Amino acid sequence: MAIYIFIASLLVPRIAAIPSMQKHSRSDIPVINIDWKTVLTKSKTTTTLQVVVNPLLLQNSSIHDNALKSLEYVAADYVRFVPWYPYPKLSVPEIDEPVINGDNCTTSWDFTYADPLMEDFFRSTPNVSHIINFSTTPDWMWILPNGTTYTYPDDINDIDFDYNQGTQLRDPSLKEVSDYYSRLVSWYVRGGFTDECGVYHHSGHTYEIEYWEVLNEIEAEHSIQPAFYNQLYDTIVTAIRAVSPNTKFVGLALANAQNLSYFEEFLDPSKHAVNIPLDFISYHFYGSPDEASTEAEAAQCFQQAETFLNEVSQIETIRKQLSPSTKTTLNEIGTFDPQGAVTIVPGYEVPAEYFIWSGGVFAYVFSRIAAMGIDVIGESQLVGYPGQFPSVSMVDYTTGLPNARLRVLQLIQESFAPGDELVQTNYTSESNIHAQAFVTTDGVRKLLLINKLRDAVTIQIWGLKSAKIEIVDVSTGGDIWRTEDFSGSVFNITGWATAVMTEN
Ligand SMILES: *[C@@H]1O[C@H](CO)[C@@H](O)[C@H](O)[C@H]1NC(C)=O
Ligand SMILES: *[C@@H]1O[C@H](CO)[C@@H](O)[C@H](O)[C@H]1NC(C)=O
Ligand SMILES: *[C@@H]1O[C@H](CO)[C@@H](O)[C@H](O)[C@H]1NC(C)=O
Ligand SMILES: *[C@@H]1O[C@H](CO)[C@@H](O)[C@H](O)[C@H]1NC(C)=O
Ligand SMILES: *[C@@H]1O[C@H](CO)[C@@H](O)[C@H](O)[C@H]1NC(C)=O
Ligand SMILES: *[C@@H]1O[C@H](CO)[C@@H](O)[C@H](O)[C@H]1NC(C)=O
Ligand SMILES: *[C@@H]1O[C@H](CO)[C@@H](O)[C@H](O)[C@H]1NC(C)=O
Ligand SMILES: *[C@@H]1O[C@H](CO)[C@@H](O)[C@H](O)[C@H]1NC(C)=O
């Protein structure tokens, strides 16, 4: 989650960018033309989500049970678990530095909070692969800027965005930070570890951690420079492999995709130690509109998605050139409501329709990156709430029940999978309808439709005569989608709807 992005966007003048609402007469209604014979590419894309740890996921939270049930609906391979720095005591199991003083040696290792969160996460995501990202390094390992001090909040419910400070580790050999990760991983995969004082801590855990992501939003958190990140990555990966040899790794986790120098440095095997695996890279996108009308905000987010997709294509060029076997996970895709970005403006509620078009942005990015051959896309972030990105939530934070952002992911998961063929689907992009036809591995023909506009649009479809349509829109909200029958060629797609047609 890149905080600085939306803070910056709040500083720019507010533009009232109302999109021009084209009214189409019956004679010039947009036409979608599917050519089932022309296969563009075979999809590799798995759709999944990330779970950012916060107190609403603790077992005593009133929404705990529903939130985890919501997670079960959409648990898929590469589901990502991120204990994150605004909650140091939930995310950093060694919160204080060891005190080593002659025979008096004590450490603060404590998994009281991390363990139940981890256990619940694994229980709610059976039979899929996981990306585990204890992204936050203990603050005492970092040299604070001169003249500053910092104390983490004692109350686990407090949100503190000041935890990640300093740009220099106090142990430049990186042994301290890699030992930290080695012990943390041993706790979860090897049943325990020996601490800095030589004391053994028994956990009994034997998790299979398929993927470990090394740090998070590195350009923002501790302003880690590209070459230094490679060094950290290599050292941490080596330490983790020593205790968990089958774990694969995800690198970069960039807050945004704009600065290509990180990709050029990371994806170049010659800039790593020998035999360091570059299994996956990850980076993020959040639509961050200026405050305007819901309608203008939606239009701006779809526009920003376009910019992001251009960046993806540049990064793909670099990846294919430098390290073609490295896979990609876009593991934080979301949008912000500017009045509900971090906190919520007093008296404001994120409007129900926001979650519809935000889901539409996710569906749109999915469709486009599937065509580009991206491996994984993950929606952000299961539970958000005021203070912790309420508009990035995939559940209602008062009940834990799904909202429309989660339903869109669920609909896409139930409709599309790696191995599907994307076929030529022509339409005029000015219509603000996105359309992409797929043939599933079972030979079933499907059409994904997204209406980027608030108003219903009548469209004409050539190539699909009779179908079942499943629709997430303002009328369904967080409920399960509705189903309609389609026959003929004319379809009225409701405002901001994400719809999947399946040929009868
Ligand atoms: C779709 O567009 C392409 C490129 O413009 C064109 O070659 C093709 O004939 C069109 N197919 C259909 C079914 O309209
Ligand atoms: C849950 O328990 C923690 C202590 O483990 C406490 O700090 C927190 O306030 C509790 N939350 C609720 C909602 O009771
Ligand atoms: C060990 O720590 C305790 C409590 O902090 C202190 O009273 C004692 O003097 C220390 N002993 C040594 C040998 O440093
Ligand atoms: C997970 O796999 C086990 C063993 O194959 C199976 O019994 C179980 O039903 C699966 N659970 C889910 C949720 O798919
Ligand atoms: C803090 O100041 C000391 C003395 O001037 C200097 O040696 C050190 O590098 C400074 N540390 C940082 C993190 O700026
Ligand atoms: C790990 O999580 C952090 C915090 O969300 C994120 O910034 C980072 O990019 C993640 N790392 C990877 C490799 O995905
Ligand atoms: C990209 O990141 C590098 C390393 O932090 C920095 O030197 C460079 O100025 C950045 N480029 C842009 C365009 O921000
Ligand atoms: C679509 O909407 C138009 C205008 O509201 C209406 O005339 C038409 O019958 C509708 N078509 C379908 C297939 O529902």
Q: What is the CATH number of the domain that holds 408?
A: 3.20.20.80
Radius of gyration of the chain (CA): 23
Residue 65 has pLDDT above 70, yes or no: yes
Which of 230, 252, 259, 265 has the most ligand 7 atoms within 8 A of CB, as the residue to mutate? 259
Which of 51, 132, 282, 383 has the most ligand 6 atoms within 8 A of CB, as the residue to mutate? 282
Looking at the structure, tell me whether residues 68 and 128 fall in a common domain: yes
The confidence score (pLDDT) of residue 339 equals 96
The confidence score (pLDDT) of residue 337 equals 97
Residue 386 has pLDDT above 50, yes or no: yes
Domain CATH code at residue 499 = 2.60.40.1180
| 128 ligand 4 Cβ < 6 A | no
Residue 6 has pLDDT above 60, yes or no: no
Ligand 2 midpoint to CA 213 (Å): 28
Residue 18 has pLDDT above 50, yes or no: no
Angle at 188 between CA 82 and CA 172, to 5 degrees: 70
**Residue 262 lies in domain:** 45-296+324-356+376-415
Rounded to 10 degrees, the C-alpha dihedral 129/422/299/414 comes to -40
Q: How many CA atoms lie within 13 A of 157 on its CB side?
A: 5
Ligand 6 midpoint to CA 134 (Å): 8
Ligand 2 midpoint to CA 214 (Å): 29
| 91 ligand 6 Cβ < 6 A | no
- The end-to-end CA distance of the chain, in Å, is 41
The confidence score (pLDDT) of residue 2 equals 53
Alpha-carbon distance of 349 to 104, in angstroms, equals 53
Sign (positive or negative) of CA dihedral 219, 221, 225, 226: negative
The confidence score (pLDDT) of residue 255 equals 82
Nearest bound ligand to the CA of residue 167: 5
Ligand 8 midpoint to CA 483 (Å): 17
The confidence score (pLDDT) of residue 9 equals 37
Nearest bound ligand to the CA of residue 134: 6
Closest-CA residue to 196 (of 244, 141, 245): 141
| 487 ligand 8 Cβ < 6 A | no
When pLDDT is averaged across residues 281-308 and rounded to a whole number, the result is: 96
When pLDDT is averaged across residues 347-369 and rounded to a whole number, the result is: 97
When pLDDT is averaged across residues 461-479 and rounded to a whole number, the result is: 97
347 domain residue, yes or no: yes
Looking at the structure, tell me whether residues 473 and 339 fall in a common domain: no
When pLDDT is averaged across residues 18-39 and rounded to a whole number, the result is: 70
| Residue 372: strand pairing partners | none
Looking at the structure, tell me whether residues 170 and 250 fall in a common domain: yes
Looking at the structure, tell me whether residues 454 and 407 fall in a common domain: no
Residue 434 has pLDDT above 80, yes or no: yes
Looking at the structure, tell me whether residues 410 and 427 fall in a common domain: no
3-state SS assignment for residue 177: helix
Nearest bound ligand to the CA of residue 494: 8
433 domain residue, yes or no: yes
Residue 103 has pLDDT above 80, yes or no: yes
Tens of pLDDT, residue by residue over 220-240, are: 778 889 999 999 999 999 999
Phi, psi angles (nearest 5°) of residue 130: -120, 145
Query: Structural domain tally of the chain?
Result: 2
Q: Are 284 and 2 in contact (CB under 8 A)?
A: yes
427 domain residue, yes or no: yes
The confidence score (pLDDT) of residue 150 equals 92
DSSP letter, residue 342: S
- Least confident stretch, 22-31, 137-146, 207-216, 325-334: 22-31
Please name the residue whose Cα sits nearest to atom 6 of ligand 1: 426
Ligand 7 midpoint to CA 384 (Å): 31
3-state SS assignment for residue 167: coil
Looking at the structure, tell me whether residues 441 and 344 fall in a common domain: no
Question: 254 pLDDT band (50/70/90 cuts)?
Answer: confident
Residue 5 has pLDDT above 50, yes or no: no
Looking at the structure, tell me whether residues 344 and 428 fall in a common domain: no
Which of 54, 134, 135 has the most ligand 6 atoms within 8 A of CB, as the residue to mutate? 135
Q: Are 451 and 433 in contact (CB under 8 A)?
A: yes
Identify the residue with better confidence: 162 or 2: 162
- Least confident stretch, 28-32, 172-176, 388-392, 417-421: 28-32
Residue 147 has pLDDT above 90, yes or no: no
Q: Which two tokens stand for residue 198?
A: 């030589």
Residue 166 has pLDDT above 50, yes or no: yes
The confidence score (pLDDT) of residue 25 equals 42
Tens of pLDDT, residue by residue over 371-385, are: 999 999 999 999 999
Question: 256 pLDDT band (50/70/90 cuts)?
Answer: confident
Looking at the structure, tell me whether residues 345 and 452 fall in a common domain: no
Question: 16 pLDDT band (50/70/90 cuts)?
Answer: very low
Contacts of 330 by beta carbon, 8 Å cutoff, 6+ apart: 282, 283, 284, 285, 312, 365, 369, 374, 376, 377, 378
Looking at the structure, tell me whether residues 381 and 498 fall in a common domain: no
Identify the residue with better confidence: 405 or 222: 405
Looking at the structure, tell me whether residues 125 and 205 fall in a common domain: yes
Sign (positive or negative) of CA dihedral 184, 187, 189, 193: positive
Nearest bound ligand to the CA of residue 24: 8
Alpha-carbon distance of 340 to 346, in angstroms, equals 10
Looking at the structure, tell me whether residues 121 and 27 fall in a common domain: no
84 domain residue, yes or no: yes
Of 365, 391, 415, which one is at a domain's C-terminal end? 415
Looking at the structure, tell me whether residues 107 and 245 fall in a common domain: yes
369 domain residue, yes or no: no
Question: 164 pLDDT band (50/70/90 cuts)?
Answer: confident
DSSP string, 220-260: TGGG--HHHHHHHHHHHHHHHHHH-TT-EEEEEEES-S--H
Q: Are 120 and 90 in contact (CB under 8 A)?
A: no
Run of H or E residues at 378: strand 376-381
Question: 217 pLDDT band (50/70/90 cuts)?
Answer: confident
3-state SS assignment for residue 365: helix
> Strand pairing of 457-462 and 490-493?
antiparallel
- Give the 3-state secondary structure of 477-494: CCCCCEEEEEECCEEEEC
Alpha-carbon distance of 147 to 444, in angstroms, equals 65
Q: Which two tokens stand for residue 24?
A: 């189409």
Ligand 3 midpoint to CA 106 (Å): 11
| 307 ligand 2 Cβ < 6 A | no
Runs of H (alpha helix) within 323-451: 352-372, 404-415
302 domain residue, yes or no: no
- Return the exposure string of 128-148: e unless at least 16 CB atoms fall within 10 Å of the residue's CB, then b: ebbbbbbbbbbbbbbeeeeee
Ligand 1 atom closest to Cα of 463? 13
Question: 282 pLDDT band (50/70/90 cuts)?
Answer: very high
Please name the residue whose Cα sits nearest to atom 12 of ligand 3: 104
Nearest bound ligand to the CA of residue 169: 5
Closest-CA residue to 259 (of 222, 306, 225, 301): 225
Ligand 1: residues whose CB is within 6 Å? 33, 35, 424, 426
Please name the residue whose Cα sits nearest to atom 9 of ligand 6: 253
308 domain residue, yes or no: no
The confidence score (pLDDT) of residue 27 equals 53
264 domain residue, yes or no: yes
